[in-house]
Structure 1
Amino acid sequence: MFESSLHLTKFKHRAVIKFRVKKGKTAKEIFEKTSSVYGESGPSSATVKRWTRLFQQGRETLEDDLRSGRPNTAVTDENIEKIAEELGFSKERVGDIMHNHLHMNKVSARWVPKMLTPLDKQRRVETSEEFLDLCKDNLEEICTPIVTVDETWIRQYDPESKQESMQWIEKGERPPKKFKVEKSASKLMATIFWDCEGVLLIDYLLKKTTMNAEYYAGLSKKVREAIVEKRRGKISKGILFLQDNAPVHTARIARQALR
């Protein structure tokens, strides 16, 4: 009776991990404790590490994340081990069956900048086609003088390893993708200037410093020096400066600095 009571569901195991994370325990300590209590019925080391990281990053739910398309969760390493044990095969034999007979491969998810909806993708295609149509045969002449700028937050995070993201897929299927990562409270503002040849300048806003018009105007001197150093003759030929209409960009002091 006692032994059967130790076979918890995965949600209860996650609740145990979450409780111990709240107590300040590390993934190693949690795994050692669960192994000593639940034995082979407890979660694997990789599972404990993954959920410990998620709960440390502020996750509250115990449920699996929703995924679009056909679920891949049925072919995890943990399930393969259970299948091997149930059928009396070795884990390597099960892997051989999945690879050579079911024609499935285990691949890592690849990083993409962000998830785009079909509408987002279509708008980008249409906008690009309109721009190319306007340029006609003068694409190089128009693009070469453009210098553009944008700001982005750089956040510290604990990315999922390639091993953790690997999944079994059928032959011919596209590899899985990894989109948004769990963000931490630590972040840094980066202002990036670039042209058709590459990055000209990356400026990192110091902590406890505000991005305002005065600060942005000061960057115009830095980017001018970068252009002189990296793109000889570009300024004398004329520059088309491309930026969005953020208040710090359109302020009078910023416009004067650009002129």
Structure 2
Amino acid sequence: MGNRRITLHELEDATGLSYGSIHSILHDNLHMSKVCARWVPRMLSYDMKLSRVSISGAILTRYHANPEDVHFRTVTCDETWLHHYDPESKQESMEWKHVTSPRTKEFKSTRSQKKVMATILGDSKGVIHIDYLPHGTTMNGEYYANLLKQVRQSIKENRRGKIRRGIILHRPVKVPGPSPYDFHLFPRLKKHIRGQKFQDDDELIAAVEGYLGDQDVEFFRSGISSWQTRWEKYVKLEGDYVEE
């Protein structure tokens, strides 16, 4: 217990017991296993966790009172980097092989430096507006002010009645919790384009918008619905991070 990082070989040298005996004692008798620490984005203070519980509880109360109203009125906004080339993970590149087949080899590759920052806004019906940050510019108050004007026009054209009923605009911040795009849309989008090499921004953007356009309403609605589960977990875990 004094050194939880000690290895089996070090225990072997210290005790004189065999490697197999030590393994059996630890696993079969002491019921212990060696695991990695869980990495989290940042250390949350007590006040941060309290804030997360409070906000999640308030959202849940509103959601349970009228789920359809929340689905209709909520517009979520989030941004992500999209790379011209993002290599597949080792697990994603796995393939079936026969016992007599030679094992395939792949050269290790890295993510390309060329990338596009996409800001996506949408609701339970789908994407409402996408903006791509021009190269050499930064996201600031002026950028978001102009973006919201464009989004308002897109909502007027594509979501009749939403502005009149009042929009619940959600943009994620670090403490209360992520948007449904963080754990629903973005992982699936990036998995779809991963391993593909795009020659320029236009080719990458076409692939992204093609994927988003192929998704049906249920895809986006399930993302908003799964958000409810996150809020419940934040409350249950007293504001701590939720396991992915």
TM range (shorter): 0.3 to 0.5
Larger radius of gyration: 1
Q: TM-score by structure 1 length?
A: 0.38
Give TM-score scaled by structure 2 length.
0.40
